[in-house]
Amino acid sequence: MRGARDLKPKRSRRLGQFSTRAELKLWNQLRSRALDGRKFIRRHPIGPFIVGFVCRERRLVIEVDGGGQASNERDQARDRWLADRGYSVLRFSNHKVLGNIDDVLEAVRFTLADTLPPPARRPLPARSER
């Protein structure tokens, strides 16, 4: 069983090598606590999924999509799964990130300010979240 758990970090690292221009542009604005001192991680596994960007402190997931994926049933189910575990999900199109990064960052700032931090004493993560 241990071998199966080790594959996900390797896969997320491999996926990180193939980022779109929009993902790289957003990552350059989020990395190294550049956005209001919040730490973001790129291509991070959460349960059975690998998310684009996540601020674990505020449980905020950011996805950059090629467009039209928000209506994809699998993405909607994934968003519900994350929401059931206390994550907020923001989705932006490649076009939006490349064309107006300032609006994207403002939406992220607004959501970070609006989300509550997790309780001081969190229970252990569910087995599926480890």
- How far apart, in whole angstroms, are the C-alpha atoms of residue 8 and residue 12? 6
Determine which of 3-7, 78-82, 85-89, 116-120 has the lowest per-residue pLDDT on average. Answer: 3-7
- Is pLDDT of 15 > 60? no
Using the predicted structure, report yes or no on whether residue 52 has a pLDDT greater than 80: yes
Percent of residues, the chain, with pLDDT higher than 70 = 72
Cα–Cα dist 128/130, whole Å: 6
CA distance 9 to 34: 24
pLDDT-based confidence at residue 2 (cuts at 50, 70, 90): very low
Give the model's pLDDT for residue 18: 72
Amino acid at 121: R
pLDDT for residue 55: 96
> Fold for domain 2-115?
Endonuclease; Chain A (3.40.960)
Cβ contacts of residue 76 below 8 Å, gap of 6+?
Answer: 70
